[in-house]
Structure 1
Amino acid sequence: MADESDTDPAPKRRRPGRAAGSGGMAAAVALTVATGAMDAISFLALGGVFTSVMTANLSLLGMSTASLDATRARDTAVAMAGYIVGALLSGRIVRGPRPAWRARCALMVELLALGGLWAVWAAAGGHPSGGRQLGLLAVAALAMGGQSGLVRAVGPPGFSTTYLTGVLTGLLVDVARSGTVGRLSMALLGALVVGAAAGGLLVAHAARAAPALPTGLVALVLLASVTSLARDAQGRLWPHAE
């Protein structure tokens, strides 16, 4: 994880303000909650696979192949294909000048994907099946792949709001080496758990409205991104890991 020194060798360079840093952290946490919710929704109601954790899906693909579980293998392949398309699309969108504007465009694509998913999901009464279920799985994975590609492109090295194994590993290594605990890392890990719990509760008790949580959170982050609240003093959309 990237680390910022307490001393700044360039006196004229303005350090990130407290409000801007807090806003950037809030945006990152909100997107991570959305990730946890979407993974819970997909695992519980869209075929028992994940939409953001492709390493887990690779394991599921291997196990389903070994057990000749064609349905699980199909669902895993659909999720992985959607994720790949989303990551490639997002990476293409954010490539070029005006990175902040391009990042907002990538967020808009994710929001449109999640909004469309919610509409179709609600039309199915919160219990999609057959081809509709597969289509929604692909769209959900595309949205998460897009978020992953966006954060990878514009965030600091090692920063993620979707796959957090590296975040957990970095946190543990920092604790072992220096006894320090990164607040952002802790916040992201907690947000993933909270999001998954909330998504699972919604699927169980208010299935029709379940996708409203990730959709609403991404909408809030997009809205905040047009203000200074989600950017630091250098114009980045994400804070440095602490």
Structure 2
Amino acid sequence: MADQTDTGPTAQGRRPGRAGDARGVAAAVALTVATGAMDAMSFLALGGVFTSVMTANLSLLGMSTASPDPARARDSAVAMAGYIAGALLSGRIVRGPRPVWRARCALAVELVALGGLWAGWATAGGHPVGGRQLGLLAVAALAMGGQSGLVRAIGPPGLSTTYLTGILTGLLVDAARSGKVRRLSAALLGALVVGAAAGGVLVSWAAPAAPALPVALVGLVLLTSVTPLARDAHGRLWPHTG
């Protein structure tokens, strides 16, 4: 990333080029790992729902009315409400001039939300229940909704670090039609699995510290966003998906 005031092919006499592209890919992969970890945490310890896959929560909400399962319906609704709030907030933050600076602000809001989640999670010993569980679920979904809104607003078409069904479909269709696999798409799908596996391991073996992984990853992306090589050769925040 670079502030919009950094014009021209270089910020300090250097051409970002491939280094900027690599930074963008690394940022997208890091955020996707964080997403996988958060989904594992929410599914295993925050009510059996997801914080980034709202289509799955919609399905769970529908199934809960047929069961009936009021707890599952409640948790699905809370996750959806938090996600919607986060996406709307992020979309509002990045609206206007100086988009890269605004993107940093949106990342900072996500980081604050995840930090608050970690604090509440740790005080519950990694096993929140009752009202605290619902509150943490809402905060986690807000963070993921914010990340989704940010990437949707400023990223290239088709890029996502949270809901990846479209990326999986595109990868399969491209492979079937041309025999080619988009490396970024494959990397993001792999990152989601790695993040979910890491999140699951942390919840099982080091529950109080589980939120440290997404906090560290989002914090790292925000920190590196202020470096001159955090953009690609065209000043974009994210890499092409092609």
TM-score computed with the length of structure 2 as normaliser: 0.93
- Residue of structure 2 equivalent to 1:135: 135
- Residue of structure 1 equivalent to 2:5: none
Instruction: From the superposition, tell whether residues 58 and 77 of structure 1 become closer, same or farther in structure 2 (CA, over 3 Å).
Output: same
- Residue of structure 2 equivalent to 1:30: 30
Structure 2 unpaired stretches of 5+: 1-7
One-letter identity of the residue aligned with 1:169: T
Instruction: From the superposition, tell whether residues 70 and 208 of structure 1 become closer, same or farther in structure 2 (CA, over 3 Å).
Output: same
For the pair 1:163 / 2:167, whether they are aligned, the reply is no
One-letter identity of the residue aligned with 1:118: W
Structure 1 residue 230: Cα displacement = 2.7
Structure 1 residue 228: Cα displacement = 2.8
What CA distance in whole angstroms lies between the structure 2 residues aligned with 1:61 and 1:229? 44
CA contact (8 A) 2:106 2:146 kept: yes
- Residue of structure 2 equivalent to 1:108: 108
Q: Which deviates more, 175-184 or 32-41?
A: 175-184
One-letter identity of the residue aligned with 2:29: V
- Residue of structure 1 equivalent to 2:50: 50
Q: Secondary structure of 1:228's partner?
A: coil
- Residue of structure 1 equivalent to 2:3: none
What CA distance in whole angstroms lies between the structure 1 residues aligned with 2:9 and 2:224? 24
What CA distance in whole angstroms lies between the structure 2 residues aligned with 1:158 and 1:117? 29
The count of aligned residue pairs is 231
Q: Percent identity?
A: 83
Q: Secondary structure of 1:230's partner?
A: coil
One-letter identity of the residue aligned with 1:44: L
For the pair 1:91 / 2:71, whether they are aligned, the reply is no
One-letter identity of the residue aligned with 1:92: R
Structure 1 residue 201: Cα displacement = 0.1
- Residue of structure 2 equivalent to 1:120: 120
Q: Which deviates more, 228-237 or 91-100?
A: 228-237
One-letter identity of the residue aligned with 2:71: T
CA contact (8 A) 1:100 1:235 kept: no
- Residue of structure 1 equivalent to 2:65: 65
Q: Secondary structure of 1:229's partner?
A: coil
Q: Secondary structure of 2:229's partner?
A: helix
What CA distance in whole angstroms lies between the structure 2 residues aligned with 1:229 and 1:32? 21
Structure 1 residue 229: Cα displacement = 3.4
For the pair 1:235 / 2:235, whether they are aligned, the reply is yes
One-letter identity of the residue aligned with 1:101: W
TM-score computed with the length of structure 1 as normaliser: 0.93
What CA distance in whole angstroms lies between the structure 2 residues aligned with 1:16 and 1:65? 53
Structure 1 unpaired stretches of 5+: 1-11
Instruction: From the superposition, tell whether residues 13 and 223 of structure 1 become closer, same or farther in structure 2 (CA, over 3 Å).
Output: closer
What CA distance in whole angstroms lies between the structure 1 residues aligned with 2:137 and 2:76? 9
One-letter identity of the residue aligned with 1:170: G
Structure 1 residue 84: Cα displacement = 0.1
